[in-house]
Amino acid sequence: MRIREALSRGASVLSGTGSESPYLDASILLALALACGRSALLARHSDALPAEAESAFFSLLARRAEGESIAYILGEKEFFGRSFHVGPGVLVPRPETEILVEAALLTARRILHNRGAGTPPAAYPPRRPGPNDAPGCGQGLALRVHDAFTGSGCVGVTLAAELPDAEVSLSDLSATARDLASRNAREILGRDLPVLESDILSGAPGPYDLITANPPYVDSARTDRLSGTQGTPGADGIRWEPRMALDGGADGLTFYRSLVPEAEKRLVPGGGLVVEIGEEQAAAVEALFRSGGFLDVEVIRDLGGRDRVVRGLRHEGN
């Protein structure tokens, strides 16, 4: 079998499973089976596919056809310009979660400006790492930052890289997530970050200047549908992800109801809380922020125009 034929057959298999990008997925998996880059794969279209690579390719195709995400199969996912290890037991980082990071960076700059220690945040748009950046290069802001529900650590580790002078810690209830977040911190930053065992913020005493969180926010009924537990095949990749990282209770707001008051206790006066939300949860989460003593509460939309992040500053009283 030629590589060209294998790609065609692979794309056909995945097309029949409802994949949105069957040819792209097939080319990624074939490149993995051949241990080469996709650009090299394109240059070898007429080459014969070795038997060992053919076997590996169709095994990978079977996993993808069953709904396992490309990120899980590869064991990595790019986020904010950096490659993070991922695997069963943690959510695959989503592009929309980069909005959470961008909002957190602007909030950090606002906090420092409010204290007379920085330039107004509008002058510092979020930056992406350049090809020649050393690990940890950034704007040099000194803050105590905590990322709850850290999962793979994509948010917290990115903040540590972008704010190299900050004291960043992470927490998660899952031991699998904590191990993976620690690994990502070491490989991306070249140093360890504190990764705490914590249910919401119970194991993270503070005080903090900034808390970020991407808690489970899918309502239980929708989690059932997405994970395929009601006889459906499940959304792409979702049923491979841990339910505890998805299920936000009957209305999807269970964790916010605990997170907001617990964050208020641990934030210094004027400190910031920045959370990701589901697209129909802005009004409810914004109300929780306001009733919890947060000021300057703002809802931020993602590039698709959907409500994605709520952020606010803790009141100045003790």
Region 277-286 average pLDDT: 95
Please, which pLDDT band fits residue 247 given cuts at 50, 70 and 90?
Answer: confident
Same domain, 85 and 62: no
122: domain range?
Answer: 79-314
Q: Which two tokens stand for residue 291?
A: 């009733």
Same domain, 31 and 137: no
Q: How far apart are CA 63 and CA 236, in angstroms?
A: 12
Q: How many domains does the chain have?
A: 2
Nearest to 144 by CA among 163, 162, 126: 163
pLDDT higher at 147 or 125: 147
Is the pLDDT score of 72 beyond 50?
yes
Q: What is the pLDDT of residues 130-170, one digit of tens each?
A: 443 433 333 444 899 999 999 999 999 999 999 999 999 99
Q: What is the pLDDT of residue 33?
A: 97
Q: State the CATH number of the domain containing residue 198.
A: 3.40.50.150
Task: Indicate whether 60 belongs to any domain.
Answer: yes
Please, which pLDDT band fits residue 116 given cuts at 50, 70 and 90?
Answer: confident
Same domain, 18 and 137: no
Whole-prediction pTM: 0.87
Is the pLDDT score of 236 beyond 90?
no
Mean residue pLDDT across the chain = 88
Task: Indicate whether 72 belongs to any domain.
Answer: no
Quick one: what percent of the chain has pLDDT higher than 70? 87
Same domain, 141 and 266: yes
Task: Indicate whether 269 belongs to any domain.
Answer: yes
Which residue is associated with the tokens 């990008």?
21
pLDDT higher at 219 or 258: 258
Q: What is the pLDDT of residue 286?
A: 98
Same domain, 62 and 83: no
Same domain, 221 and 115: yes
Written in H, E and C, the secondary structure of the chain is CEHHHHHHHHHHHHHCCCCCCHHHHHHHHHHHHHCCCHHHHHHCCCCECCHHHHHHHHHHHHHHHCCCCHHHHHCEEEECCEEEECCCCCCCCCHHHHHHHHHHHHHHHHHHHHCCCCCCHHHCCCCCCCCCCCCCCCCCCCCEEEEECCCCCHHHHHHHHHCCCCEEEEEECCHHHHHHHHHHHHHHHCCCCCEEECCCCCCCCCCEEEEEECCCCECHHHHHHHCCCCCCCCCCCHHHCCHHHCECCCCCCHHHHHHHHHHHHHEEEEEEEEEECCCCCHHHHHHHHHHCCEEEEEEEECCCCCEEEEEEEECCCC
Quick one: what percent of the chain has pLDDT higher than 90? 71
Q: What is the pLDDT of residues 168-179, one digit of tens each?
A: 999 999 999 999
Task: Indicate whether 71 belongs to any domain.
Answer: no
Please, which pLDDT band fits residue 188 given cuts at 50, 70 and 90?
Answer: very high
Task: Indicate whether 296 belongs to any domain.
Answer: yes
Q: What is the pLDDT of residue 246?
A: 81
Is the pLDDT score of 104 beyond 90?
yes
Same domain, 53 and 93: no
Task: Indicate whether 275 belongs to any domain.
Answer: yes
Q: Which two tokens stand for residue 124?
A: 């510092």
Region 46-68 average pLDDT: 95
Region 301-310 average pLDDT: 96
Region 31-37 average pLDDT: 95
Same domain, 56 and 96: no
Query: Could you tell me how many residues make up the chain?
Result: 318
Same domain, 223 and 196: yes
Q: What is the pLDDT of residue 305?
A: 95
Same domain, 49 and 147: no
Q: What is the pLDDT of residues 17-28, one digit of tens each?
A: 878 899 999 999
Task: Indicate whether 74 belongs to any domain.
Answer: no
Same domain, 45 and 166: no
For residue 199, count other CB atoms closer than 10 A to its CB: 14
Please, which pLDDT band fits residue 237 given cuts at 50, 70 and 90?
Answer: low
Task: Indicate whether 194 belongs to any domain.
Answer: yes
Region 105-111 average pLDDT: 95
Q: What is the pLDDT of residue 134?
A: 36
End of a domain among 35, 66, 97?
A: 66
Same domain, 60 and 94: no
- What lies within 8 Å, CB to CB, of 288 at 6+ separation is 253, 256, 257, 260
